[in-house]
Chain A
Amino acid sequence: MPATLAEKILARASGRDRVEPGEVIWVTPDLVTTPEVSFPAYVKRLRDNGIDRFALPERVVVAIDHEVPVHSREGAERNRLTRQLARETGVGHLFDGEGITHPLVIERGLVRPLSFVAAADTHTPSLGGVGALGIPFGIELTMILATGRIWVKVPETVRVEIGGRCPPGVTARDLVLAVMTRIDADLANYRIIELGGDAVAALSIPERMTLCGLCVDMGAKSAVTEVDERCVAFLAERGVADAAPVRSDPGCRYAEVIAFDASTLAPQVSIPPSPTHVRPVTELAHTAIQHAYIGSCASGTLAELSAAADLLEGRRVHADVQMLVIPATRRIYQQAMEQGVLARLSAAGAMVSPPTCGPCFGGLAQLAAGEARISTSTRNDPGRMGSRDATIYLGSALTVAASAVAGRIADPRDFLPAERKDIAP
């Protein structure tokens, strides 16, 4: 029987030849990730229930990423406790200020194609960019830490086939926003989104991670892209040996197949109250913004920082705009520094902070009532970045950089120099 990529992953994780959509199965995650904002609470809950050790501690990743550098007294205590408990429980990896969990575990070669990753944090589906299945479990991570396994209802897959190529100024963010306009919550719920086609094959691996990571915001259980030679080479550079291309079998069953062409797309923006409220950037032109942010697990890649720096070349961030840039990991920070990208961003008037989730959930650079920010982060629920009466728009790094210069939401295509217009970052 032909299987989808997600079914292959779940079959492997459950030690079976195949699984059927709708079945409830036990799976043993290859990796279990939790940030510091959850970890001490999980350990306490387990200890309160008489469980004081993890079944497979070597598979557990604890990342201090939400509040870095720490800037509250309770955060300081939480971080201290996180380090102590990580030692006591013997977890495989404690990443202390090294970057945001999801891009970090890829960067460190901890995730392979067909891996099953259980996470505390919502945006783990970005691991689908290397053909792994990342699923958020929240508080149920306690059960996974205790027993090493978790139940999963095998989901159906929705195939999204994206043909053509992104035109200049149109990025992976714009692609996933275009997907959101075609898949509603009823279709996405309890399903895997599988993204493929020429437009996806043309994307870099970090861009595919952006694509997959944001699928959770349309209500999907997770998302995944095919593993091709480009992905295998990317992983090999990060120490993942012997990975091989893998994809869904021809003739496998999809709940639905949705197809569209990337070459006719324009830059798009999510407006409040949620990421699925998508509008063409041109409809929002002249919307004033006072804050611009490039970063988060869905962004903050070296390519995006470079593209933003290119767009800002010879320009300055508008006098009424605070622009903040946060590389997603310390390694990206380091590379961007060595390549002069951070210097160019800073020269154009942007602030640069060390890797953290910070602003994405209002932990840093909060917004006041009446203010507006355009951001590459994951969600724009009212109140997510401070005041409930602030407005959050979500767009690509190019759209954010263009808007930062204009002081209003701007179409990045108006800012691309003629000779760079063939490059879609």
Chain B
Amino acid sequence: MTDAYSGRCWRFGDDLASDQLIPPQHVFEYDPAVLRRHLLAELRPELSQQAAPGDLVVTGRNFANGSNHSHPFLAMKEMGVGLICASISRGPFRLAVFMGIPLLVAGAEIIAQLGDGDALRVDFATGDIRNESTGRRFTVEPLSPFLLDIIAAGGGLTYARSLLATEGTDHAKR
């Protein structure tokens, strides 16, 4: 990934539960190509077909609450989309980073200015959010450089592999 994403805004509401993102009957499915077909399919059947890398899923508060499943993030990674939400609790936040999904948390008043179908440009390293359809621009707290490194590597395990390749396990000593 680069630090910035440009694409379409896919706008959703508050309290999207993990089980709503991907229905729980797919819990034993781990193929990202299959999972992307189910991501938010009940709310937006066209998402899987039309989402393009660089697009942004934009939601209200409490994204991916409930079951701590990695499936929605596997599907988002397959689509190549980033995330902006009004709030996200610890479990799904960590999962998003581990799976390599770039994300920003923005106030509800900013989310309200990002409409479905708007063209967005989002820099995760600086926290800069531009709505190119309306010309409005917002700044939020950026992702920590640590977490950007993990996401840029493609997630926790690919990050771990590259870390081991360059440093061995010396970093674990203290």
Which A residues fall within an 8 A CB radius of B? 13-15, 24, 26, 28, 45-46, 49-51, 55-56, 137-140, 142-143, 146-149, 151, 153, 189-190, 219, 221
Minimum Cβ distance to chain A for residue B166 (Å) = 11
Are B160 and A139 in contact (CB-based, < 8 A)?
no
Are A146 and B89 in contact (CB-based, < 8 A)?
no
Are A49 and B174 in contact (CB-based, < 8 A)?
no
Are A151 and B146 in contact (CB-based, < 8 A)?
yes
* Nearest CB in chain B to that of A190: its residue: B90
Are B172 and A190 in contact (CB-based, < 8 A)?
no
A136 to B173, CA, bound (A): 22
Partner of B147, one of A46, A49, A151: A151
Stretch of B12-20, B48-56, B132-140, B151-159 that contacts chain A: B151-159
Minimum Cβ distance to chain B for residue A384 (Å) = 13
Q: What are 22 A-B contacts with C-beta separation under 8 Å?
A: A24-B146, A28-B172, A28-B174, A45-B157, A49-B158, A51-B157, A51-B161, A55-B169, A139-B98, A140-B98, A142-B156, A142-B157, A142-B160, A143-B156, A146-B160, A146-B164, A147-B171, A148-B172, A149-B171, A151-B146, A151-B147, A221-B90
Partner of A148, one of B95, B97, B98, B169: B169
Which residues of chain B in 22-60 are interfacial with respect to chain A, using CB atoms and an 8 Å cutoff?
none
* Given A28-B174, A149-B172, A143 and B160 contact (CB-CB distance below 8 Å): yes
Answer yes or no: B112 CB below 8 A from chain A CBs. Answer: no
Are A46 and B89 in contact (CB-based, < 8 A)?
no
Minimum Cβ distance to chain A for residue B111 (Å) = 18
A37 to B68, CA, bound (A): 16
Answer yes or no: B126 CB below 8 A from chain A CBs. Answer: no
* Given A15-B174, A147-B171, A149-B171, A140 and B160 contact (CB-CB distance below 8 Å): no
Return chain B residues, CB-CB under 8 Å to A15.
174
Contact indicator per residue, chain B 114-154, by CB within 8 Å of chain A (1) or not (0): 00000000000000000000000000000010110010000
* Nearest CB in chain A to that of B91: its residue: A138
* Given A139-B95, A140-B94, A140-B98, A148 and B157 contact (CB-CB distance below 8 Å): no
A137 to B91, CA, bound (A): 8
A26 to B147, CA, bound (A): 11
Are A147 and B174 in contact (CB-based, < 8 A)?
no
Return chain B residues, CB-CB under 8 Å to A190.
89-90
Are A24 and B147 in contact (CB-based, < 8 A)?
yes
Known: A55-B164, A140-B98, A143-B157. 10 other contacts (CB 8 A): A28-B174, A137-B94, A138-B95, A140-B94, A143-B159, A146-B157, A147-B163, A147-B169, A147-B172, A190-B89
Return chain A residues, CB-CB under 8 Å to B146.
24, 26, 151
Return chain A residues, CB-CB under 8 Å to B94.
137, 140
Return chain B residues, CB-CB under 8 Å to A45.
157
Partner of A139, one of B70, B150, B158, B163: B70
Partner of B90, one of A14, A146, A149, A189: A189
Return chain A residues, CB-CB under 8 Å to B147.
24, 151
Which residues of chain B in 59-101 are interfacial with respect to chain A, using CB atoms and an 8 Å cutoff?
68, 70, 89-91, 94-95, 97-98
Return chain A residues, CB-CB under 8 Å to B91.
138
A26 to B161, CA, bound (A): 17
Partner of A143, one of B68, B98, B144, B169: B98
Minimum Cβ distance to chain B for residue A116 (Å) = 11
Looking at A15, A51, A55, A142, the one whose CB has the most chain B CB atoms below 10 A away is: A55
* Nearest CB in chain B to that of A16: its residue: B174
A399 to B150, CA, bound (A): 48
Are B160 and A51 in contact (CB-based, < 8 A)?
yes
A13 to B159, CA, bound (A): 21
A189 to B147, CA, bound (A): 20
Minimum Cβ distance to chain A for residue B69 (Å) = 10
Return chain A residues, CB-CB under 8 Å to B150.
151
Minimum Cβ distance to chain A for residue B73 (Å) = 10
Minimum Cβ distance to chain B for residue A172 (Å) = 25
A51 to B91, CA, bound (A): 24
Minimum Cβ distance to chain B for residue A4 (Å) = 18
A51 to B169, CA, bound (A): 12
Are B161 and A49 in contact (CB-based, < 8 A)?
yes
* Given A51-B157, A190-B90, A138 and B68 contact (CB-CB distance below 8 Å): yes
Partner of A189, one of B70, B89, B160, B161: B89
Return chain A residues, CB-CB under 8 Å to B89.
189-190, 219
Are A50 and B161 in contact (CB-based, < 8 A)?
yes
A15 to B171, CA, bound (A): 11
Return chain A residues, CB-CB under 8 Å to B157.
45-46, 49, 51, 142-143, 146
Minimum Cβ distance to chain A for residue B155 (Å) = 9
Return chain A residues, CB-CB under 8 Å to B158.
49
A59 to B127, CA, bound (A): 38
* Nearest CB in chain B to that of A191: its residue: B90
Return chain A residues, CB-CB under 8 Å to B98.
139-140, 143
Return chain B residues, CB-CB under 8 Å to A26.
146, 171
